[in-house]
Chain A
Amino acid sequence: MVEFIIYTLIMTAIFAIVALSLNLQAGITGLSNFGQAIFFAIGAYTSALITLNGLPFLLGLFLGMVLSALFALLIALPTPGLRDDYWAIVSIAAAETLRLFINNERWLAEGPFGLRGIPRPLEALFGTGYNWFYLVLSLVCLAIVFIAFELLIQSPFGRKLRAIRESEAMITALGRSVFRYKIVTLMISGAVAGLAGSLYGPYLTFISPEHFAPVVTFMIWSMVIVGGSGNNLGVILGAFVITLFNLSTRFVKDWLLLPTDLLAALRTLSIGLLIVVFVLLRPQGLIPEKRRSLLRVTRESLVTERKEKQSHAGGGKRK
């Protein structure tokens, strides 16, 4: 039972990182990406190929993030104006193309057979308690991504993203290139999905193109929609709910005498149903996007200043 809980939490943490990366594009900036799983895949494959060749885990993680960001740049640049609808089509097409490429080559990553025996970082050091170590590692990564995104979203950069979601014309009229903001966002988002991928491979020790099929992208979308689009905490909760659902329904086969492939299909089906129910009945998700404002410190100092001004004006002297 403890093993199952640890497994669930590690998977939650890894998928929460991917879901946060999607949320930055879709929830905050308003860019629909239907191929986010491929950035997850690039991170996983890059880091696996690096570590399988005896190079350090951190190098693989770093290169996985860089390559994911570069792939985002590569497919974003030719997308006209990076309009939301064009990006949706480009991202799903590019993701499937690259996945099918991996599936059909043999020289690089063993095609459909996938990469086996991916080394786990510091495995010798932790021995039997390794899963605990991995839980801490993935939770720390999740915490770093969460805090970094929260700060980013409240910064001047993040304010522009939230404004772009509502009015690109406004940001353009204020002298900023909407395209530049979008490109940078997609690269950050790609890199963070790549980070999650570099954590995913060593934990499973085996990855194949199947792990990054389009259905995975829709799983990630369901985490964002169920959790609360635009709210990072909600998205993490969404990742937990969907992951728990995914993993615990595996036990259903012990009670229900149905063919396993039918059960697997039913699981995917019920997540689809969940998305529909949420979109119709609770479009804001479990935890709705909170009202953001300036950072608290900035706000507080403004309020004290306002009070000082008022008492000054009350004293009879106005500047």
Chain B
Amino acid sequence: MLVVENVNKSFGGVKALRDISLRVEKGSLIGLIGPNGSGKSTLFNVITGVLSKDTGNITFKGKRIDHLPPHNIAAMGISRTFQVPQISRRMTVLENMLLAPMGQIGDNPIRVFVNWKAWRNQDRTLAERAEEILELVGLIRQSDELAGSLAGGQLKLLSLAVALMNDGELLMLDEPTAGVDLALTDQIMGYLIQAHGQGKTLLIVEHRMRVISGICQYVYVLDAGEVIARGEPSEIQNNPQVIEAYLGSKKKVKV
């Protein structure tokens, strides 16, 4: 579904991504791990068009996307979350959810007045669906509260809920459990498995190997802008190069 081929990206003299290639097949659950500063978020930003690549190809559903503006890439069916949740804090939780669905009649300011019954009915239907998702992630009680009043972990949940509401076929999650306690981490991972069970394709960025190895089918390991290992989680965990990247090379580590 998503194919990244030989992508390079430099910031001045710093090579942030070197010849990165990866594939995300439809219906898979892929992990992207690596220590801080290894280029995971840069790769995310290059795929979603927020940053432009220097060289290489990126295709999604068979179409080149590496020259498209970010909103067009997102509209093709890639929903993403950010490390720091991007949420409108001065809007209610439910209103944030209703930002997500595509094809809203009331997105056109003329139709706001001409078809005002139609968009209100649509709003109502969408609000029902939004509340179902909020129920699922346990934010239903906060539905009418300002998003700014939510705690940090709840903001993470809300941004995940918004991404689910956006309904892209590919869900790209940038550290969905960063800064979240262990109980909530398990809970979030549970939702991700559930979303995967419902047919979503997922690409998840993490820097904690333990969190991701439990749920992903296939893992790419990034270090200093390069893919240093790839494979099933069990293989990866015992790969000496990976251990070196995470723990440093000077210490001898028994495998």
Contact = CB atoms under 8 A, between A and B. Distances in A.
A305 B120 contact: no
A128 B127 CA distance: 54
Interface string B115-131: 01001100110011001
Interface in A127-177: 148, 151-152, 155-160, 162-163, 165-167, 169-177
Contacts of B119: 155-156
B87 A170 contact: yes
B71 A178 contact: yes
A298 B109 contact: no
Interface string B179-208: 000000000000000000000000000000
Nearest to B73: A175
Contact of A177 (B50, B69, B96, B102): B69
B6 interface: no
A55 interface: no
B75 interface: yes
A125 to B, nearest CB: 30
A174 B124 contact: no
Contacts of A295: 120, 123
A162 B90 contact: yes
B112 A155 contact: yes
A215 interface: no
Interface stretch (B32-40, B58-66, B78-86): B78-86
A157 B109 contact: yes
Interface in B6-35: none
A175 B74 contact: yes
A173 B160 CA distance: 13
Contacts, number: 122
Contacts of A58: none
B88 A298 contact: no
B149 to A, nearest CB: 11
B74 A172 contact: yes
A173 B166 CA distance: 9
A188 B105 CA distance: 18
Nearest to A166: B88
A157 B116 CA distance: 12
Contacts of A155: 106, 109, 112, 119
B94 A293 contact: yes
B104 interface: yes
B88 A163 contact: yes
Contacts of B124: 298, 301-302
Contact of A176 (B71, B80, B92): B71
A195 B50 CA distance: 39
A166 B123 contact: no
A144 B98 CA distance: 27
B88 A174 contact: no
Contacts of B235: none
A99 to B, nearest CB: 28
Given A156-B107, A167-B88, A298-B120, A172 B71 contact: yes
Which of A167, A174, A295 has the most chain B CB atoms closer than 10 A to its own CB?
A174
Nearest to A169: B86
Nearest to B168: A175
Contact of A173 (B82, B94, B120, B131): B82
Contacts of A165: 88, 90
Interface in A262-295: 289, 291-295
A151 B128 contact: no
B146 to A, nearest CB: 7
Contacts of B71: 171-172, 175-178
A201 to B, nearest CB: 27
B108 interface: yes
B82 A156 contact: no
A104 to B, nearest CB: 36
Given A155-B106, A155-B112, A173 B95 contact: no
B80 to A, nearest CB: 5
Contact of A156 (B70, B123, B128): B123
A309 to B, nearest CB: 9
Contacts of B94: 293-294
Given A177-B71, A294-B94, A297-B120, A169 B82 contact: yes
Contact of A172 (B70, B89, B102, B144): B70
B203 to A, nearest CB: 14
Nearest to B96: A163
B98 A292 contact: no
Nearest to B48: A173
Closest 9 CB pairs of A and B: A156-B106, A175-B75, A175-B74, A170-B86, A155-B112, A156-B104, A155-B106, A163-B88, A167-B86
10 contacts: A151-B116, A152-B112, A155-B112, A156-B112, A157-B109, A159-B98, A170-B162, A174-B166, A175-B168, A298-B127
